[in-house]
Structure 1
């Protein structure tokens, strides 16, 4: 079944963790031809410590193993200082409770608080591990849409610039020769006056990678208060949206693909 050692360690102590024809067996069991082997993948208890709390969820797709969400801008993915009960994790666990599911919060990747759009969370550790192993491979694809200041030239290319923390800042990242390797592919989709709508794909997954790379080439994202110029009369966040997501289903191995349109605050920038 391709279960990791971590998952096996979690389930082998459960009464219904590993069953052969409905009877409990252990990790050294070797099934005979015709026997039915079943493994419990869902969470026997929640270990994340996240408090379920009601809140808006835009569910794009859901099954027993994964859930795909269209995250609203301004919503954090994980609880943290100042946001203990108003995050995607809180809302998702409340949704699971309402549906009678025991699943915990198993995010596969994350979006910054100001970023909107598609993200996938697993419903059990095995699905999470399988999907995380797909990250930054051809099996897992994310296409971001952004509005930037100015129009990049050339209209398509790869930004290859290492990133690391900016000294003296708790939040900012910067291009620095001793940073971690970072590559972003971009392409101009259309020109909106003095701005451009661009598509972006990450070959690596560094903190604020798209925002820093676009600022590095002289085209910061519209509304980016850290790496560009904030103008709340235009948009109250960095204009970045996860518009397309595809991956191989962790159980069936079938390709799953999803797309959502630009949110209203970004679409309004073309006017």
Structure 2
């Protein structure tokens, strides 16, 4: 933009400048105009953000989240940005991103809180058929504070999440992903070690099933299996919870890791309040 053009624009009243901005059909042009000086910046920034919300599906919210710009994110949300908007991640064209997932990856509890309080869906899957909810992202990223905050927004620590994740609980997912720190955090917060899928697969049984699956593929036993099994048994996991014709104890006693076998051989039976489905 030439100096002469800039001078003429600056001589105009605010109402006329806004009218010119309304006629610009390019976000880049509007952005350039807003950077001329402080007056135009303050005048046109809300206009620019509204333009982005209306025509670019609130893509500026991703920019604010990635850079942890809380003030900008708050302004966008106040102007009506879609807190659950999505876009394709450049690294994976089949995987969609959301602002909340971006905030979790940025490890910003403040941004996560802002988005959730503005209506971000903590159970929203980033793409149909692709397993990545915000809770999964917090578990895999080992963001303990963020995970516990997200769980506090649900009716229970033992809530079944959604059908895209086989209706697992957060604890089942943490066990499946072998995230020892996240399992400890959930158990300490009060998660029930015997609450698994709606079908009756408890976190402990899932842990042992996954380990036996690795063995069938010729892989070595995973060291986390023993650590997690011992932790969950200590926190009240039932070694004899029936799932059809098996139980954690039955699977644990044939595990390739001698420590796991010994653990289940010596695990005391506990009184169960209920049983899983029977065959």
Tell me the TM-score range normalised by the shorter chain.
Answer: under 0.3
State the structure with bigger RCO (CA 8 A, min sep 6), 1 or 2: 1
TM-score by length of 2: 0.24
TM-score by length of 1: 0.25
Structure with the higher strand share, 1 or 2:
1
Larger of the two Rg values belongs to structure = 2
